[in-house]
Amino acid sequence: MKNIFPRAHDHKSCQTSALHAAETLAEKRGVRLTPLRRRVLEIVLMSHRPMGAYDVLKELSPEKPQPPTVYRALDFLLAQGFVHRIDSLNAYIGCFSPERRHRSYFLLCSRCGRAAEIDDDALVTALGHAAHAANFAVQRETVEISGLCSECGPSSN
């Protein structure tokens, strides 16, 4: 598997690409990416670190929106697949492949706070087979693995 926490990374490029994809998809789906929704998405896409709603609110402080407005914007972005929710952190992270509906699984670095989305069809298949074998009806999936990324782990010294 490739290193999903690369040392050299043009984040501005992936941020711009994800924002453009979201705008294109919103138009194609006939939904409105209002100025506030777009701004919330820009904020969440600022880094590969999950952000809580109140972190987003702090970034928006000059505009002074109310918390429910930010939560509604995040709910919209989540429903459209433009962001993912990191349940264990009660936070959100941008989706850098919003054009493709997919399940989201994450590796979370407990030291630097970065998150990396796992995009692995074999994992999706294995989890599906395990649920089927257990005669288990999946209602919601959350796979979040905490540990140390390659920059923070023992081999980074």
Checking if the pLDDT of 5 tops 60, the result is: no
Predicted local distance difference test score (pLDDT) of residue 3: 47
Checking if the pLDDT of 4 tops 60, the result is: no
Predicted local distance difference test score (pLDDT) of residue 1: 42
Beta strands 143-147 and 115-118, pairing class: unpaired
Q: How far is CA 51 from the centre of its chain?
A: 9
* Mean pLDDT over each residue of the chain, to the nearest integer: 87
Q: Residue 84's pLDDT band (boundaries 50, 70, 90)?
A: very high
For the segment 91-117, the average pLDDT, to the nearest whole number, is 88
Checking if the pLDDT of 157 tops 60, the result is: no
For the segment 7-36, the average pLDDT, to the nearest whole number, is 86
Predicted local distance difference test score (pLDDT) of residue 2: 46
Q: CB pairs under 8 A, 24+ apart, for 36-39?
A: 36/63, 36/65, 36/69, 36/73, 37/73, 37/76, 37/77, 39/63
pTM: 0.84
Whole-angstrom Cα distance, residue 60 to residue 69? 11
| Half-sphere exposure in the Cβ direction for 48 (13 Å, CA) | 21
Predicted local distance difference test score (pLDDT) of residue 111: 92
High-pLDDT (> 90) share of the chain, %: 55
Predicted local distance difference test score (pLDDT) of residue 8: 58
Whole-angstrom Cα distance, residue 156 to residue 38? 36
More confidently predicted of 5 and 98: 98
Predicted local distance difference test score (pLDDT) of residue 66: 85
Alpha carbon separation from 29 to 123, 124, 141 (Å, rounded) = 29, 26, 25
- End-to-end, the C-alpha distance of the chain in Å comes to 22
Domains of the chain: 11-149 (1.10.10.10)
